[in-house]
């Protein structure tokens, strides 16, 4: 056979192989977040997407749907369980209904500070809790920062627990949060995040509770101008992956996704610290007032919540408290 013929065939084989790999459709993963572009959690996911794209040579793309486009947290968690959503950044709070043990991370004053929380989450306890999610169809990839949750109200500031008496306070769909409100004397109103602004505006609720960036981003500050630093909870965010999707990935792809999520967690924490400062400045400029009640009074009141959940998770609670 002529040399030029063999050479020609080889060129064609090469062209064919290259064009095949170039056109092999990438896997596109759907990622949900109920915050808007610019919020630290969404920016964290964006970094994760870039790292995954780069490390898989474009074979895995992550398409982010911010602003609760794919539904409220409870709905998106259900869809993640089913595999209709591949990646989901949510608060741990709504996860409690699916994986009861995660309730521990949402207990009032379980963490002494942000530093304590990250020591726990980055250590063996945090890792074990992420692993435990897999029994319910989720792969826990990483935690994100969400600061501490504080009350904000429409008519008067909360200076002590008795100020909450009879007030309708919106809470996340988490049984612990309902009990916390009851213990403090308020009437809890579980409601999706997206509905809170109009509920505050129309007087359906008297207040809500969240960190400063959410208070600002959602414009809740426009209608509820009193923000009281009681810091009742420090509930982290979590990046979940559907186990259905995870099972379709190769070991290399899994490693890349996990690594990218962990890297994005550090980036999100950095963005978080900036965002808290920005939010405080912005809402102050809009006339919001900050109050610093005696936290001990609130800690005293929420003790019954520990009695209720403490029985099941006594050991875990002790372990968390023992982390220095």
**Residue closer to ligand BDP, measured from CB, 91 or 106:** 91
**Residue closer to ligand BDP, measured from CB, 72 or 259:** 72
- Residue 43 interacts with ligand BDP (CB under 6 A): yes or no: no
- Residue 146 interacts with ligand BDP (CB under 6 A): yes or no: yes
Q: Residues 123, 126, 130, 133: is their CA dihedral positive or negative?
A: positive
- Residue of 81, 102, 150, 172 that binds ligand BDP (CB under 6 A): 172
**Residue closer to ligand BDP, measured from CB, 14 or 36:** 36
CB of 304 to ligand BDP, least distance (A): 23
How many chain residues touch ligand BDP (CB under 6 A)?
11
- Residue 211 interacts with ligand BDP (CB under 6 A): yes or no: yes
**Residue closer to ligand BDP, measured from CB, 152 or 306:** 152
Stretch that binds ligand BDP, among 208-216, 261-269, 274-282, 309-317 (CB under 6 A): 208-216
**Residue closer to ligand BDP, measured from CB, 71 or 293:** 71
- Residue of 237, 240, 272, 276 that binds ligand BDP (CB under 6 A): 237
- Residue of 34, 206, 212, 268 that binds ligand BDP (CB under 6 A): 34
- Residue 145 interacts with ligand BDP (CB under 6 A): yes or no: no
Binding site for ligand BDP (CB under 6 A): 34, 73, 90-91, 146, 172, 193, 210-211, 214, 237
């Amino acid at each position: 056979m002529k040399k030029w013929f063999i050479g020609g065939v080889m060129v064609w084989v090469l062209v064919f192989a290259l064009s095949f790999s170039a056109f092999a459709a990438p896997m596109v993963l759907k990622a949900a977040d109920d915050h808007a572009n610019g919020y630290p959690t969404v920016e964290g996911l964006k970094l994760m997407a870039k790292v995954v794209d780069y490390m898989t040579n474009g074979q895995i793309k992550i398409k982010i749907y911010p602003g609760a486009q794919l539904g409220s947290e409870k709905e998106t968690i259900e869809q993640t369980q089913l595999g209709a959503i591949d990646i989901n950044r949510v608060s741990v709070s709504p996860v409690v209904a699916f994986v009861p043990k995660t309730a521990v991370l949402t207990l009032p004053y379980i963490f002494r500070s942000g530093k304590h929380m990250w020591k726990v989450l980055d250590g063996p306890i945090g890792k074990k809790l992420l692993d435990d999610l897999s029994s319910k169809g989720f792969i826990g990839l990483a935690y994100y920062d969400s600061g501490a949750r504080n009350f904000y109200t429409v008519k008067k500031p909360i200076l002590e627990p008795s100020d909450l008496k009879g007030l309708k306070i919106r809470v996340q769909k988490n049984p612990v949060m309902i009990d916390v409100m009851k213990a403090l004397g308020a009437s809890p109103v579980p409601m999706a995040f997206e509905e809170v602004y109009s509920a505050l505006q129309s007087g359906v609720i008297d207040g809500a509770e969240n960190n400063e960036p959410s208070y600002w981003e959602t414009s809740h500050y426009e209608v509820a101008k009193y923000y009281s630093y009681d810091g009742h909870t420090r509930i982290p965010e979590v990046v979940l992956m559907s186990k259905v999707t995870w099972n379709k990935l190769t070991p290399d792809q899994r490693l890349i996704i996990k690594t990218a999520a962990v890297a994005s967690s550090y980036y999100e924490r950095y963005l978080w610290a900036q965002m808290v400062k920005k939010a405080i400045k912005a809402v102050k400029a809009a006339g919001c007032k900050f109050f610093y009640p005696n936290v001990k009074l609130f800690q005293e009141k929420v003790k019954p919540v520990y009695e209720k959940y403490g029985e099941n998770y006594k050991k875990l609670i002790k372990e968390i408290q023992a982390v220095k």
